[in-house]
Amino acid sequence: MTPKPTGKGALHNRKRRGIPRGARRKPHVLEILSRLRIEYPDAHCELDYASPYELLVATILSAQCTDKRVNLVTPALFAECPGVRDLANMPAERLETLIKSAGFFRMKTKSLLGMANAVVDRHAGEIPRTMDELTALPGVGRKTANVVLGNAFGTAAGVTVDTHVGRLAIRLGITSETDPIKVEQELMVLVPPDDWTLVSHLLIFHGRRICDARRPKCEQCVVRDVCPSARGD
């Protein structure tokens, strides 16, 4: 039997055989995930909601807006629109007034009313439970659909990639991709499916509390020794 090559020759052969990049990065990602899971045992979606409908609305409002601001806006909105049919029937002018402080209120009003009417017309007023059905709704992309599916329905169809997740994925050496879809695709390979929803929460928690975009608190970071940015790699 011919012995298997070792050393540099073996590495060259592995590269030549086209081993996926994810295969070399997976232990790195799982180590980060393990440490962040211990650091943030209560990591969760920080949008306030009591139903899939409320989470869908809140997530649409969260575009270019903080969760804290959205949580200040939604109580009055849900008081007037406790259900999707109420939202579908709300005059645009009134909806704009209620959500104005969340920013981009005209665009978000169009998205919310379009979504609500589509849910009523196509799904008898029930928020759909599949990626294809959700992303077919006006104003709903993969990020929003992943938030709703993972948190309201407990279905891990993908990984939510928001600004924090995309930024930390690069900074922590998880990916070099900048397109959210490509970042999600890589994370789905590197992270076990059961953790697809959790990994977003962990990265978001870490990004908000420690790994700030401008001034990361590397001295307080639990993954600094495995972070290429902190090490200056």
Pull the structure tokens for residue 231: 């090490």
Band of pLDDT at residue 19, cut at 50, 70 and 90:
very low
CB contact at 8 A, 25 and 190:
yes
37 or 17, which is more confident: 37
pLDDT value of residue 21: 52
Distance CA 164, CA 216 (A): 12
List active site positions. 143, 162
In this structure, the answer to whether residues 73 and 144 fall within a common structural domain is yes
**Alpha helices per DSSP H over 100-195:** 105-123, 131-135, 142-152, 163-171, 180-190
Which of the listed residues 152, 177, 205 is the one where a domain comes to its end?
152
pLDDT value of residue 230: 87
Distance CA 204, CA 177 (A): 18
In this structure, the answer to whether residues 135 and 194 fall within a common structural domain is no
Write out the residue range of the structural domain in which residue 84 sits.
Answer: 52-152
Residue 7 lies in a domain: no
Which of 224, 28, 84, 59 is CA-nearest to residue 152?
A: 59
Band of pLDDT at residue 74, cut at 50, 70 and 90:
very high
In this structure, the answer to whether residues 29 and 58 fall within a common structural domain is no
pTM above 0.85, yes or no: yes
Kindly report, residue by residue over 115-151, the tens digit of the pLDDT.
999 999 999 999 999 999 999 999 999 999 999 999 9
In this structure, the answer to whether residues 113 and 184 fall within a common structural domain is no
97's CB contacts (< 8 A; 6+ apart) are: none
Which of the listed residues 152, 172, 189 is the one where a domain comes to its end?
152
